[in-house]
Copies of this chain bind each other. A is one copy, B any other.
């Protein structure tokens, strides 16, 4: 049943970091890696633990969370399929990594993975570029967390999710329907607000006619302009 553990039929072979390797090189990496499935809510790594593994997300969604000593939490990053997870060259993990949905990863022990990086400049460069992109995204989120109103945060989030759901292509002008990968609570954790405020904003957008809600996860963006509208 588990004959699918080779890179050849990996769903993210061409979009993950591995895209920088030819088939031969991939063999070597394959020997290092092992698949791991996570259930929803399962933790891959705890903040403060030694940073022993890293890898590529194959399917599902992960969240990276930071927390204060007294337990307040904030989601500081989300990982989607083909994203790299982990922190080479680091002693300890700074953030907790948790599966938001059922997820599958291809994991490598950190030390040998670093050696692979050292031998494959192209891969290391790709990782550098991804890290730059993650940094830019984190900084853009800092602006949002600090300066946007609750309404702006929620609409921005919905538009981001819609972009992702439609494959990040130029968006069709018509309505878009998709499932949110996060609960209300997780949305609140991403946006730096409370679950109640998220819920109220969604209700407001619904009664304005900008969106439709279907169950806890389903959402349709009806009118992009209305959604963006200031009032």
Contacts and interface: CB of A to CB of B under 8 A. Distances in A.
A94 B87 CA distance: 24
A183 interface: no
Contacts of A124: 121, 124-125, 128
Contact of A66 (B77, B89, B118, B139): B139
Chain A contact residues: helix, strand, loop or mixed = helix
Q: Which of A76, A95, A135, A140 has the most CB of B within 10 A?
A: A135
Given A128-B89, A128-B128, A146 B143 contact: no
Contacts of A118: 121, 125
Interface string A118-145: 1001001101110110111011111101
A203 interface: no
Contacts of A132: 87-90, 131
A11 to B, nearest CB: 26
Interface string A69-106: 00011101100000000011110001100000000000
Contacts of A169: none
Nearest to A134: B135
Interface residues of A toward B: which range? Answer: 35 or more
A89 B131 CA distance: 11
Contacts of A87: 132, 136
A111 interface: no
Nearest to A68: B147
Interface in A127-174: 127-129, 131-132, 134-136, 138-143, 145-148
Contacts of A227: none
A192 interface: yes
Given A121-B121, A148-B68, A76 B131 contact: no
A127 B121 CA distance: 13
A145 B146 contact: yes
A230 to B, nearest CB: 10
Contacts of A72: 143, 147
10 contacts: A68-B147, A74-B142, A74-B147, A95-B139, A121-B124, A124-B124, A124-B125, A142-B142, A145-B192, A146-B191
